[in-house]
């Protein structure tokens, strides 16, 4: 793989090494584009798909390229309720990325603290925390998320909670592993010799050296979270129908698939695919360039 | 050995206890089951009567004990919508899910092993890159999206494959199976393939990694030096050693496959337990939901336990505590 190449010729800078892979550059461009769309979405979307006053049921199920009776173009067609697919997808990207990012950041924070504490304290604290992590990881993520959402019901906050619960253990295990290696280094001994406080050593010295690994795992986990959210929403378990994410848009279009109205499902699906694949390629490339022995 | 098994057994029971608490308190405490029974005209005395009938006026820990007591007798209450014991519904639907999962497992091994061996033998060849790219895609692309594309391509556009249901079944040993009729196989192909993809990706990666490790070991070198044919080395010496981790991972993943079957069954309207769960959630059939969750958790914990014990039999280092 390309990781071997990076070994053979140590790159002058991580950023330049990263840019050497055309696939990674393309993935970065695609992913950044989606992030931009997510941020400025409300200003570029032709209509607000949540505002029922702007949605006309008479315009339902129009194929891409049609026009509404007021002359507004539907570049990507409309869904079963007459929503403009382009607008619905822009808002869907917003929600999917929001859920992925929010759950990723919270899980990262929780996992990092648990991992650092386990590595630094060692002993029974480490044993207990890692047993819990092992237990959590022995259950398939979809099963845990399914149980939690069946109990909690639908909602943005609930799906973020469920995603945090299934993700924190990955971060905890990874951070612990890296932190264990780092705590054995000389600079930590030096910091201990200076009688610096445990918190300062943990967060000021060990944590910065765990960051590359955390970045790689966070990218991969975010892709997995977006994929899982889409799957759960597709099953009708994730987000409420009033705030359709990409998964829910695909589910809505599923009913029309058999009649050949492909665009309602396929277009949001392609966007979802582009987000997930680009995030994975990014994570892969980051791992190769930052090379945090995963 | 006995100590190891006893320890794992105790751990499994603990997990089960925690999970029953989570499911019971989650489903019965966070939501209020009274409103499912109560009609809109139900006034306070009528509500009180329902509460007493359901035993909801008793302390919550007492309710939990009743629940666990019933659970131990295999009684998880009656389904609201079907009016029959929830467990009997699960037993009725389970063969369809197991059939799907086992077929997916077979497909994953039949396709994944040769691809993994090929990728492991020549890791820099372009075919290996394609195989590894495929395994990354199969890992990261959501399963429901792949199922959807298969329906669009093979059912809607080409019209080759049926997108819904199980097709004709035959009864074998008292269980209805699609596997042994032509129509049933026709219906089974797409859902089983879709479900197999994640496992297939995993088999490819494990096989490739195992090949890279085993191919350079001393005993393979000696086998070659002894003039044993390459095909025999591969099929006998290499295979035997890379199969152990694959079998372990697949054993542990099988519970995950049953959970993922929920997705595949919903897409292809396959009448298994997963589809039943989604239907039960849609109409808030609480006993059926609890029964499914408890059932899957028990099955998953049992599978994990079984795999661990089997693994410790196959690999003595585990039970002697060398690994951890």
Is the pLDDT at A279 greater than 80, yes or no?
yes
A165 contacts on B by Cβ (under 8 Å): none
Q: Where are the domains of chain A?
A: 83-290
Q: How far is B252 from chain A (nearest CA, A)?
A: 8
Is the pLDDT at A164 greater than 90, yes or no?
yes
Domain A83-290 sits in CATH at 1.10.3720.10
DSSP designation for A74: E
The answer to whether the beta carbons of residues A230 and A247 sit under 8 Å apart is yes
Position with higher pLDDT, B44 vs A156? A156
pLDDT for res A102: 92
Neighbours of A123 (CB within 10 A): 8
pLDDT for res A107: 93
Q: Which of B32, B259, B303 to mutate to test the interface with A (most CBs of A within 10 A)?
A: B259
- CB atoms B30 and A230 under 8 Å: no
Could you give the residue ranges of the DSSP H alpha helices within A57-206? 85-121, 123-138, 141-152, 156-183, 186-193, 198-200
Is the pLDDT at B323 greater than 50, yes or no?
no
> Per residue in B273-313, pLDDT tens?
888 888 888 777 777 888 888 888 888 888 888 877 777 77
Enter the pTM of the model. Answer: 0.81
pLDDT for res A110: 93
- CB atoms A147 and B148 under 8 Å: no
Nearest to B141 among A146, A237, A273 (CB): A273
Could you give the residue ranges of the DSSP H alpha helices within chain B? 2-25, 34-37, 44-54, 60-72, 86-121, 126-140, 143-150, 182-214, 218-225, 230-232, 239-268, 273-282, 286-314, 316-319
Predicted ipTM of the assembly: 0.77
- CB atoms A269 and B256 under 8 Å: no
Tokens for B211, please give them: 């090949």
Q: Which residue, A222, A221, A219, is CA-closest to A100?
A: A222
Mean pLDDT, residues A127-155 taken together: 82
Supply the Cα-derived Rg of chain A in whole angstroms: 22
A146 contacts on B by Cβ (under 8 Å): 259, 262
Q: How far is B192 from chain A (nearest CA, A)?
A: 18
Residues facing B78 on adjacent strands: B85
Residues facing A10 on adjacent strands: none
pLDDT for res A57: 65
pLDDT for res A69: 63
| Cα gap B235→B249, rounded to integer Å | 20
> Per residue in B56-84, pLDDT tens?
667 777 777 877 888 788 777 777 777 78
- CB atoms A266 and B152 under 8 Å: yes
Task: Domains for chain B: give ranges and CATH numbers.
Answer: 93-285 (1.10.3720.10)
The answer to whether the beta carbons of residues A152 and A161 sit under 8 Å apart is yes
Q: How far is B305 from chain A (nearest CA, A)?
A: 11
pLDDT for res A3: 39
- CB atoms A143 and B282 under 8 Å: no
pLDDT for res A108: 92
Neighbours of A152 (CB within 10 A): 17
């Amino acid at each position: 793989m390309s990781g071997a190449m990076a070994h053979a010729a140590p790159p002058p800078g991580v950023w330049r090494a990263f840019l050497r892979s055309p696939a990674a550059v393309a993935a970065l461009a695609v992913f950044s584009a989606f992030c931009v769309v997510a941020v400025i979405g409300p200003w570029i979307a032709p209509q607000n798909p949540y505002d029922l006053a702007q949605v006309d049921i008479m315009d339902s199920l129009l194929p891409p390229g049609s026009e509404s009776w007021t002359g507004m173009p539907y570049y990507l067609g409309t869904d079963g309720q007459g929503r403009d697919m382009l607008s619905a997808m822009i808002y869907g990207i917003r929600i999917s990325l929001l859920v992925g990012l929010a759950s990723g950041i919270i899980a990262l924070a929780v996992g990092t603290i648990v991992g650092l504490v386990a590595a630094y304290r060692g002993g029974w604290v480490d044993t207990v925390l890692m047993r819990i992590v092992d237990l959590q990881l022995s259950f398939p993520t979809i099963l845990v998320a399914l149980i939690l959402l069946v109990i909690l019901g639908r909602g943005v906050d609930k799906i973020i909670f469920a995603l945090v619960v299934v993700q924190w253990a990955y971060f905890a295990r990874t951070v612990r592993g890296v932190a264990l290696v780092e705590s054995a280094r000389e600079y930590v001994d030096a910091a201990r010799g200076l009688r610096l406080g445990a918190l300062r050593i943990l967060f000021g010295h060990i944590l910065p050296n765990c960051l590359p690994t955390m970045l790689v795992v966070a990218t991969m986990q975010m892709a997995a979270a977006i994929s899982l959210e889409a799957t759960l929403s597709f099953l009708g378990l994730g987000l409420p129908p009033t705030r359709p994410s990409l998964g829910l848009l695909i589910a809505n279009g599923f009913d029309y698939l058999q009649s050949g109205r492909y665009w309602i499902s396929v277009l949001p699906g392609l966007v979802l695919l582009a987000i997930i694949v680009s995030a994975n390629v990014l994570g892969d490339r980051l791992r190769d360039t930052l090379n945090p022995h995963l | 050995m006995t100590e190891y098994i006893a320890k794992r057994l105790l751990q499994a029971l603990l997990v089960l206890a925690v999970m029953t608490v989570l499911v019971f308190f989650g489903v019965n405490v966070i939501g209020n089951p009274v409103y499912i029974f109560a009609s809109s005209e139900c006034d306070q005395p009528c509500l009180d009567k329902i509460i007493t009938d359901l035993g909801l006026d008793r302390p919550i820990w007492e309710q939990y004990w009743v629940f666990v007591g019933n659970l131990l007798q295999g009684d998880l209450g009656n389904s609201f919508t079907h009016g029959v014991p929830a467990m009997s519904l699960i037993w009725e639907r389970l063969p369809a899910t197991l059939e799907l999962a086992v077929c997916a497992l077979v497909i994953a091994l039949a396709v994944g092993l040769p691809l993994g061996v090929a990728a492991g033998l020549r890791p820099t060849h372009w075919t290996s890159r394609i195989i590894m790219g495929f395994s990354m895609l199969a890992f990261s692309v959501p399963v429901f999206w792949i199922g959807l594309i298969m329906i669009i391509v093979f059912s809607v556009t080409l019209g080759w494959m049926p997108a819904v249901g199980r097709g004709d079944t035959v009864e074998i040993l008292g269980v209805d199976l699609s596997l042994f009729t032509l129509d049933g196989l026709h219906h089974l192909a797409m859902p089983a393939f879709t479900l197999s993809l994640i496992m297939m990706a995993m088999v490819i990666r494990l096989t490739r990694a195992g090949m890279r490790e085993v191919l350079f070991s001393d005993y393979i070198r000696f086998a070659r030096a002894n003039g044993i044919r390459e095909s025999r080395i591969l099929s006998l010496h290499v295979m035997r050693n890379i199969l152990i981790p694959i079998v372990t991972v697949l054993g542990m993943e099988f519970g995950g496959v049953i959970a993922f079957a929920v997705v595949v069954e919903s897409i292809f309207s396959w009448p298994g337990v997963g589809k039943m769960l989604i239907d039960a959630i849609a109409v808030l059939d609480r006993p059926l939901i609890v029964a499914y969750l408890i059932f899957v958790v028990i099955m998953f914990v049992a599978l994990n336990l079984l795999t661990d014990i089997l693994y410790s039999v196959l690999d003595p280092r585990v039970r002697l505590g060398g690994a951890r």
